[in-house]
Structure 1
Amino acid sequence: MRDLLQQFENLKEGRSHAFLDEDSFEQIIDYYDEHDELNNALQAVEFAIEQFPFSATLLLKKSALLIETKKYREALALLEKAAVLDSNDISLYILKTDVYLAMNQHEKAAAVLEEHIHLFEGEDRTDLLLELADVYDDWEEFEKVFDCLKILLEYDPNNEEALHKICFWTEFTGRNEESIRLHTNIINEHPYNHLAWFNLGTAYQGLKLYEKAIDAYQYAVAIDEKFDYAYRNMGDAYIHLRKFNEAIEVLQKHLEVAKPEDVIYEAIGHCYEKMRKFTQARYYYRKASHLSPNDDKLYVKIAKAYMTEENWENAIKSLQSALRINKQSVEYHIILGQCYLQLGADKEALTHLSNAVRLRPGSSQAWKELIRGLYVAGLVEEAFVQLEAAEARLGKKAVFQFYRAAILIGIGKTKEGLLQLESALQEHPRQVKKLVELDPSILQHTSVVELIGRYRRKR
């Protein structure tokens, strides 16, 4: 290569040089192009075309360089000239497509390929179909992307790039039934095609046919025991079937054959949580958080596992970690407030619940929790003040009506509270649980129980 470049330098400077044939010029042009020396590459191709004016290959190389320098119309003119010299070079059609795409003329780009694909066989036809799929994608003709990949796989069923792509486009377009038929046909002819088995599994999974999906994934991993995505999807299918032990087993297999990922640890933690094995759940959530330390949701999952065991102190520590990452989360302030209430730390609880309302004053959930916090802390009159503020902001919601009834009864205005409760029961009889959630002891009032019982009998 050094010798060729030196000969080219001699040619440029008008010094004595060895004869450069067409192949040598191609190597020089490619060298400069690969090293991002476009001016030198263009200079080399000009010299080359001077010596070999009827070389379609050199014209195509110059067109490619012109496309890189955004001289699209010049490139198109050269491509027309190259087509006269040699219309059987696949690069001609790919470069024309690139020009039209760069000029945002998707219809012309697609037409170039559609009209000429039939001229080619073997790998060339496959390459043009892949190129056409990319054109449709850029054009946002997503159904045509699927159609094109389907045609390609009927022609070349073991093409890995097409198999990978159609997996995504099946999910994107929702054409799972067609994908099942296509991949079943491929498997009938090529039973050891692990990607076809995998795609069959994802299509079944898209239709929520999880047992059939698992069967397909098991064939995929039998053919390729290190097929990590098959283990991942199989784990997801088992989780949907609530077969958590089986899900854990295949997700552990994923960890054996692939680099550890936070989502896999998180999924295993989820399985243990569903099985109420909270120590193991927290262990895997922590492993996930070590890989993704800025994912606040993982700390919340750890906290909720502690909350289920009523371990409020440790739950608070995890929630504080989450809040350090996401300071504006209304949800985290609410959950922290709930935990502090459980510990009787009313001041801290009300601080976080007030923050939730401040951050999102349009949230009925935030107001509800603040009012509840004040009520539980014994600040019943302040709870009434905040209830008025909530209704002024959000209107009369069912939960506020039941809360008003409880607060009125709580401050000794029993008659007024019962009238409010009756009004709430008339309008929202099914939501009486909101009253009991706020204060279970209210059911010790005989008149409250009789009133609720009367509306239940009516319903």
Structure 2
Amino acid sequence: MNLSHEEENNQGLSLSKFESMLKTNKVLFFDSEEFEDIILHYMDTGRLNLAKKALKLALEQHPKSTGLKLVQVELLIFDDKIDLADKLLNELYAIEPTNEEIYIQKANIFSKKDEHEKAIESLKTALQYTDDFADVYSMIGMEYLFMDNLELAKENFIKCLNEDTEDYSSLYNVVYCFDFLDQNAEAVTYLDSFINKNPYSEVAWHQLGRQHYALKNYEKAVWAFDYATLIDETFLGAYLEKAKALEKLRKYQEAIDCYTITMELDDVTSFVLLRVAKCYEKLGNNKEALKYYSKTVHEDPLLDKAWIAITDFYVRQLDFKKALYYVNKAIGIEGDNKLYWKRFASINRALKLYEEAEYGYRRAFELGDTDLDTYIYWADALQYVGDYEIAVEALLQGVENHPDNYEIEYRLAGLYYILNQTKKGKFHLVNALQSNYKNHSILENHFPAIWDKKSIQNQIIKFRN
């Protein structure tokens, strides 16, 4: 409920008067509308005991007030006393069949019972008697949302905005419908028309920017976010979104400037610090990048993404010892992330710590990683530590997800020859040569002792010819 400044003052006086009455136990008189405002205020602020006290006194002073009885219905619905609320509404209907609030509360009851179609019918009846079309259209839109009918929900939220362009809740809901329906281009068309009529709506400009961003029109996204921040210089969300769009345009210094404004407007967040760090790294300013990465983990030590970002920073610097320290930090926070274990394995592989690398690839696989390189590097690590049979098992699991892959086939051939299973070795060598003869050097590089065997060379010569 949006109140004017004068209405807010009057409501404040009524509340003070009512609360003073409760403290002194003196019974004071309020008109029925004052009581309605007092009760609704307490309901809106979650102080239901005070709302019920106010209602009791209100009905004692105004026992025939339809407005107060409708507020009573609202409280009964809130308390899930649906049957009592329905009974009272039927009594009120007999007295005032053209009161739109009766149909609105009926709709609330139907909605509580998940009878959304009946709720919509009741709200459509309310439209015949109401002066507040925007509110009813918004409620109809919500009922269609509950029914997952996004098209009709969108249609009714648009009708609401045609009546009340400042109903930002409905504006967000319209955009939500467009997003859910993957209608970003249509959303842009609608928002353009909305802005033509309401050029100073910072929310509409912000939502237009988001749609352009979704369509990868990053220049237009920045343009729209610019208007949002021009209208409201404290619009934190618009600055954040603008910074993200600038990053997409590789305008990293401008993005940093935007993120800096958000830190001036509100408390510093780990998300913003992390983005600034990444921007500095893109600019080649590793000193500032590391400074902001460190600030990120200081701000939120449990943010695993920040620890991984520092891990990746050191990997790019080829400082694998430091990278290993930070990836362990991330795994300590989220130990079931297959991507973190894969990084752990890759870093240990770079450090030639093959037992640790093997463990990392195995954990990644156990957590659902089925990438080709995981199977290959896992088997390579097992080969380095001499676990040939387990390496074969790892590669055979890889075959299930990557059948006839030459990299797997060459490795299986080499391992079977090492295990003196010549028949199987020859089978996989033929598969590999048929699949990709050019890369038979895989066998030479990974299995030099097998490579020199005369039978192997004869097989390769056979395929070459």
Q: Give me the TM-score of the superposition, normalised by structure 1.
A: 0.78
Is residue 2:159 matched to residue 1:155? no
2:88 maps to: 78
Q: Does 1:36 align with 2:49?
A: yes
Distance 2:37 2:165 in 1: 35
- Deviation, 1:159, is 2.9
Distance 1:172 1:283, change over 3 A: farther
* Aligned positions of 1:132-143 closer than 5 A: 132-143=140-151
* Aligned residue number for residue 387 of structure 1: 391
Q: Tell me, what secondary structure is at the counterpart of 1:171?
A: helix
Shift of 1:317: 0.5
2:252 corresponding residue in structure 1: 244
2:334 aligns with 326
1:221 aligns with 2:229: yes
User: Partner residue of 1:342?
Assistant: 350
After superposition, the C-alpha distances for 1:115-146 in whole angstroms (9 at most, x for unaligned) are 3225434xx22222222222222332222222
- Cα deviation per residue 1:176-218 (whole Å; 9 max; x = unaligned)? 2332233222322332222222222222223222222221111
1:108 aligned partner: 118
Q: Which deviations, in whole Å up to 9, do the C-alpha atoms of 1:21-71 show, x marking residues without a partner?
A: 7568768967997442687567556645xx644x31232133223323423
1:207 corresponds in structure 2 to 215
Alignment RMSD: 4.3
Q: Would the alpha carbon gap of residues 89 and 168 (structure 1) be closer, same or farther in structure 2, given more than 3 Å must change?
A: same
1:247-286 equivalences under 5 Å are 247-275=255-283, 277-286=285-294
SS across alignment from 1:297: helix
Paired position in structure 2 for 1:369:
377
Cα distance in 1, alignment partners of residues 270 and 460 from structure 2: 49
Select 1:317's aligned residue among 322, 325, 332: 325
Cα deviation for residue 303 of structure 1 reads 0.8
Could you report, residue by residue, the CA deviation over 1:240-287 in whole angstroms, capped at 9, with x for unpaired residues?
334434333333333333332222223333334445555544433333
Partner letter of residue 163 of structure 1? Answer: L
In 2 relative to 1, CA 326–365 (structure 1 residues): closer, same or farther, beyond 3 Å?
farther
Q: How far apart in 2 are the matches of 1:267 and 1:201?
A: 19
Select 2:432's aligned residue among 406, 424, 433: 424
Question: What code does the residue aligned with 2:105 have?
Answer: L
The one-letter amino acid paired with 1:79 is L
The structure-2 alpha-carbon separation of the partners of 1:288 and 1:419, relative to structure 1 and needing over 3 Å to count, comes to same
Alpha carbons 1:268, 1:284 under 8 Å: kept: yes
Q: Which amino acid counterpart does residue 388 of structure 1 have in structure 2?
A: V
1:117 to 116, 120, 127: 127
Instruction: Identify if the C-alpha distance between structure 1 residues 95 and 272 changes in structure 2 by more than 3 Å, giving closer, same or farther.
Output: same
SS at 1:36 equivalent: helix
Question: Which deviates more, 388-397 or 206-215?
Answer: 388-397
Query: CA shift at 1:321, angstroms?
Result: 0.6
1:150/1:182 contact within 8 Å kept:
no
Q: How does 1:126-205 map to 2 (within 5 A)?
A: 126-205=134-213
* 3-state secondary structure, aligned to 2:49: coil
Per-residue CA deviation, residues 321-343 of structure 1 (Å, 9 max, x unaligned), is 11211233443333223322322
Letter of the 2:127 counterpart: I
Contact 1:56 1:83 in 2 (8 A): no
Q: Which runs of 5+ in 2 are unaligned?
A: 1-17
Cα 1:118–1:451 shift into 2, 3 Å: farther
Change (3 A) 1:180 1:25: closer
Contact 1:170 1:203 in 2 (8 A): no
Shift of 1:306: 0.6
Give the TM-score of the pair, scaled to structure 2: 0.77
Distance in 1 of aligned mates of 2:30 and 2:424: 104
1:403 matches 2:407: no
**Distance across 2 between alignment mates of 1:3 and 1:226:** 38
**Range that drifts further, 202-211 or 26-35:** 26-35
Instruction: Find the aligned partners of 1:140 and 1:116 in 2 and give their Cα distance.
Output: 22
Deviates more, 1:33-42 or 1:77-86: 33-42
SS in 2 for 1:174: coil
CA distance in structure 2 between the partners assigned to 1:438 and 1:56 by the alignment: 89
Match of 1:208, SS state, is coil
Change (3 A) 1:83 1:178: farther
For the residue of structure 2 that corresponds to 1:67, the secondary structure is helix
| Alignment-mate amino acid for residue 372 of structure 1 | D
Q: Aligned-pair distance for 1:315?
A: 0.3
Distance, in Å, in 2 between the alignment partners of 1:434 and 1:112 is 76
Structure 2 Cα separation of the partners of residues 216 and 2 of structure 1: 47
Identity %: 24
CA shift, 1:100, in A, is 1.0
The letter of the residue matching 1:291 is E
In the alignment, the residues of structure 2 paired with residue 450 and residue 254 of structure 1 have an alpha-carbon distance, to the nearest angstrom, of: 69
The residue identity in structure 1 corresponding to 2:259 is: L
Give the equivalent residue in structure 1 for 2:8.
Answer: none
Match of 1:298 in 2: 306
Higher alpha-carbon deviation: 98-107 or 71-80: 71-80
Question: Could you tell me which residue of structure 1 aligns to residue 12 of structure 2?
Answer: none
